[in-house]
Amino acid sequence: MRPENQSSVSDFLLLGLPIQPGQQGVFITLFLGMYLTTVLGNLLIILLIRLDSRLHTPMYFFLSHLAFSDISLSSVTVPKMLVNMRTLRQSISYVGCISQVCFFLIFGSLDCLLLAVMAYDRYVAICHPLHYTTIMREGLCTLLVAGSWMVSCGSALLHTLLLVQLSFCADITITHFFCELTALLKLSCSDISLSMLVIFTEGGFIYLLSLGTILGSYIRIGTIILRVPSTKRLVKAFSTCGSHLFVVSLYYGTVAGVYFFSSSWDSKDIIASVMYTVATPMLNPFIYSLRNRDIKQALEMCVNKLKFFK
């Protein structure tokens, strides 16, 4: 097969989701609804946190950044997928593909790190309640979020710089519904050993650091609660941490299944990718608000204000 260098590759073809042609309309409607729910739901959370002074706490500060990251993560992949499904065109430009890889890595890593930061926040709130305001001061919260952004951007930039150095073969069909890094590397005629090494070392480090922080925080929380068992404390801990644990399990479980426990891309991996790129960002507003009294009160207050102005 004759290799083509990266400058001569102007487009890639996205194979898309494993959907029958006659079912395209149903899935377009489904994913459009999920995307709009993601955007509107997460924007509502950001707006409520911004408007209600009672929500100006570290937990909701981190949640607002997670909501923004979820909107961005879905916006990187879903609109292009919907356009391709609607027009029956599978092409994406070289620049568009590289940009999609970069931004997907930024917001995917940011989600991982923010979930870890939120777990640490819950650990301090439950295990050190008297020192919570002292420990989780505004400066530290800003530093944690800024650090998450810097690590995410640095990681994405590293992978993108390695990617643009590669040459691609005549086969430019990506077996995915978006430009996923490892699927794209398989099309390269160049030596990808360095890129794969960086994925498993640097990417694995971010994943394991985040997951380790989450597990360590919740193991510590469980130890503290079980040391002096109390129904009231158990209920409080579950109401505080239950939603976060569900999001962590859903997000990290699907990511691990795709990147660490799969040797080749197939329809199951693509469906799992839909879970953490489309489903999880959509579910987060419901998970964090349905069981959250503060969010419900803030929403009721905004609704009452709107009724008053009418």
User: Residues 129-151: pLDDT tens digits?
Assistant: 889 999 999 999 999 999 999 99
d(CA 54, CA 241): 19
More confident residue, 2 or 107: 107
Asked if residues 15 and 173 have their Cβ atoms less than 8 Å apart, the reply is yes
178 DSSP 8-state letter = S
Closest CA to 132 of 140, 121, 143: 121
- Please give the structure tokens belonging to residue 310: 């009418």
Per-residue pLDDT, averaged over 171-183, amounts to: 85
- Of the ranges 95-99, 166-170, 180-184, the best mean pLDDT one: 95-99
Q: Which residues pair with 115 in a beta bridge?
A: none
Instruction: Compute φ and ψ for 298, nearest 5 degrees.
Output: -65, -40
Burial bucket for residue 59 (CB in 10 Å: 0-12, 13-18, 19+): buried
- pLDDT of amino acid 7: 44
Side chain identity at residue 23, one-letter code? Q
Residue 11 host element (H or E): strand 11-14
pLDDT in tens, 251-268: 777 776 666 655 555 566
Q: Which of 3-12, 136-145, 289-298 has the lowest mean pLDDT?
A: 3-12
Query: Of the candidates 7, 41, 3, 16, which has an alpha carbon nearest to the alpha carbon of residue 173?
Result: 16
The token duo for 86 is 């609607």
CB within 8 A of 46, min separation 6: which ones? 64, 67, 68
Three-state secondary structure string covering 123-161: HHHHHCHHHHHHHCCHHHHHHHHHHHHHHHHHHHHHHHH
CB 156 within 8 A of CB 105: yes
pLDDT confidence tier of residue 159, bands split at 50, 70 and 90 = very high
pLDDT category at 177 given cuts 50, 70, 90 is confident
Q: What would the two tokens of residue 121 be?
A: 């926040």
**Counting every residue, how long is the chain?**
310
Which tokens hold the place of 202?
A: 């640097």
- Tens digits of residue pLDDT in 241-251: 766 677 777 77
